[in-house]
């Protein structure tokens, strides 16, 4: 006896198992969560309106810089929160700590040894910081070696002045073994010089700062560095500058000669995670605050990028070449920042979206066609069975007829867009062809 026809729907794939469906749902949720986190990480910084800066002593030069920046940044809706410190070294320690709140700070050139792992960048060099040595002595002192054996104030722990003064004194073979070095702040050093408990002291700051004005207008003598060129060669982070004759008072002709000084450079340094838009605002503030001329530099000298202490921020390089980005010139800070951040998302997103839009019709067509392929397979299997059976039994004919009617019923229930109705009727036409085959197979031969 010929074998029975295989069961209907044998060629169809089994339904998706509940476990696989559950895994698909979990995967989709994880993907959406990751996408949401990514969007938040990119967009959220655009709304930062606060910068925490570490400066120096409350009445020091760095504090003064920050106080000049604050109202400029405020115009763009950004609050500058100023934190005092002992000086450059402490600022560096604060900034290189990735967990600290400090985002920006002032670091004096030559006072630190930056590492790649610090993740710090120079936004700009903003000012010279002249180093002054005032002393009490009848004879003129113009070499640091002449201070050997005396009592010298060298700055406070954590300050850049302390680091620089130690290095300069060491070049002149002055150490704690042969000289009394006292760590004290500027006001105490000033008082000790006045009272005679110090013979000399190092100070740092602009000539127009209150402390420098008191010193320059006092009876103390100001040392001119006769060996400045040699010291700058040994200590390249310092610059040779000249304090011109009569700069303190033209009437009294003070000082009565040009004074050669050494100057460090104040660097505005930031963590490399600082939002680029905030970097541009800080550069604008620095340009407004430092672009003017002073005793040592002509108009427009600062801010600049003439430093190699830390890597230069890429935003700073672009700023000094072409200024602020286009959007930031014409839009409020928060809006320009938001749009720029959104563009980082929208450009790749639009590329993906365009690809999906182009692929969607093909995906839809493939899914619709797949509905018909299943039943065409059933028809082909049934037709092959008919052709292989030369003398079908009544039972086989009945089974074939039932299967065909089932396929016809299923085809009538296929729901497709109107544009695919021709595929429904093509399937029905194929069903009619197979029905005709069954009718012919049922005719007796002879």
- The percentage of the chain sitting over the pLDDT mark of 90, rounded to a whole number, equals 51
Q: Rounded to an integer, what distance in angstroms lies between the CA atom of residue 284 and that of residue 316?
A: 11
Quick count: other Cβ atoms within 10 Å of Cβ 335? 13
* Strand, helix or coil for residue 30: helix
Provide the pLDDT for residue 391.
Answer: 80
Query: Mean pLDDT throughout 34-45?
Result: 59
* Percent of the chain residues topping a pLDDT of 70: 85
Quote the radius of gyration of the chain (alpha carbons, Å): 42
Q: Do residues 230 and 142 make contact, with C-beta atoms less than 8 angstroms apart?
A: no
More confident residue, 35 or 314: 314
Contact assessment for residue 125 and residue 290, using Cβ atoms and an 8 Å cutoff: no
Which of 270, 281, 319, 342 lies closest to 73 in space, CA to CA?
A: 281
CA distances from 295 to 127, 248, 302 (A): 11, 11, 13
pLDDT of residue 35: 64
Give the list of residues 6+ apart from residue 338 with CB closer than 8 angstroms, or none. Answer: 43, 46, 47
pLDDT, tens digit (0-9, with 9 covering 90-100), for 87-114 = 999 999 999 999 999 999 999 999 998 8
Structural tokens at position 207: 């000539």
* Residue spans of alpha helices (H) in 291-392: 314-322, 326-330, 333-388
Q: Which residues contact 249 (CB under 8 A, 6 or more apart)?
A: 217
* Residues 249-279: tens digit of each pLDDT: 999 999 999 999 999 999 999 999 998 888 9
pLDDT tens digits, residue range 402-431? 888 887 887 777 777 777 778 778 888 888
Q: Kindly state the tokens that stand for 317.
A: 């390089």
pLDDT of residue 403: 82
> What's the pLDDT tens digit per position in 201-216?
999 998 988 999 999 9
CATH class of 48-324: alpha beta
Average pLDDT over residues 235-244: 95
Map out the domains of the chain as residue ranges.
48-324
Structure tokens at 172: 């002149």
Confidence category of residue 331, pLDDT binned at 50, 70, 90: low
Average pLDDT value over all residues in the chain: 85
């Amino acid at each position: 006896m010929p074998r029975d026809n295989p069961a209907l729907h044998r060629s169809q794939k089994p339904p998706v198992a509940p476990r696989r469906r559950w895994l698909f749902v979990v995967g989709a949720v994880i993907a959406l969560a990751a996408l949401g986190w990514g969007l938040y990480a990119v967009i959220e910084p655009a709304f930062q309106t606060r910068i925490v800066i570490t400066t120096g002593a409350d009445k020091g030069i760095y504090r003064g810089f920050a106080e000049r920046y604050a109202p400029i940044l405020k115009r763009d809706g950004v609050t500058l929160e100023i934190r005092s410190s002992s000086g450059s070294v402490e600022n560096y320690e604060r900034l290189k700590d990735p967990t600290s709140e400090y985002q920006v700070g002032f670091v004096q050139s030559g006072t630190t040894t930056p590492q790649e792992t610090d993740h710090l960048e120079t936004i700009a060099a903003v000012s010279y910081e002249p180093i002054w040595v005032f002393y009490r002595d009848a004879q003129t002192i113009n070499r640091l070696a002449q201070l050997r054996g005396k009592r010298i104030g060298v700055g406070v722990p954590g300050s850049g002045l302390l680091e620089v003064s130690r290095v300069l004194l060491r070049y002149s073979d002055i150490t704690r073994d042969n000289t009394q070095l006292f760590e004290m702040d500027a006001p105490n050093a000033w008082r000790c010089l006045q009272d005679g408990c110090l013979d000399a002291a190092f100070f740092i700051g602009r000539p127009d700062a209150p402390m420098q004005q008191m010193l320059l207008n006092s009876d103390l003598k100001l040392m001119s560095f006769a060996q400045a060129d040699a010291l700058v060669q040994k200590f390249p982070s310092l610059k040779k500058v000249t304090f011109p004759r009569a700069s303190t008072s033209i009437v009294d002709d003070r000082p009565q000669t040009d004074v050669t000084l050494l100057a460090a450079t104040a660097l505005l340094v930031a963590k490399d995670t600082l939002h680029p838009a905030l970097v541009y605002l800080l550069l604008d503030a620095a340009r407004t605050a430092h672009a003017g001329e002073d005793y040592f530099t002509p108009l427009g000298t600062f801010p600049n990028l003439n430093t190699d202490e830390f890597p230069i921020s890429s935003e700073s390089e672009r700023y000094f070449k072409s200024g602020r980005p286009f959007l930031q010139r014409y839009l409020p800070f928060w809006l320009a920042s938001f749009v720029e951040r959104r563009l980082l998302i929208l450009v790749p997103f639009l590329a993906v979206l365009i690809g999906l839009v182009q692929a969607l019709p093909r995906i839809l067509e493939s899914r619709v066609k797949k509905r018909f392929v299943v039943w065409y397979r059933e028809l082909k299997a049934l037709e092959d069975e008919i052709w292989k059976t030369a003398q079908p039994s009544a039972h086989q004919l009945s089974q074939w007829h039932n299967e065909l009617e089932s396929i016809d019923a299923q085809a009538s229930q296929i729901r497709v867009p109107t544009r695919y109705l021709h595929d429904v009727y093509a399937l029905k036409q194929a069903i009619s062809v197979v029905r005709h085959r069954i009718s012919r197979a049922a005719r007796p031969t002879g």
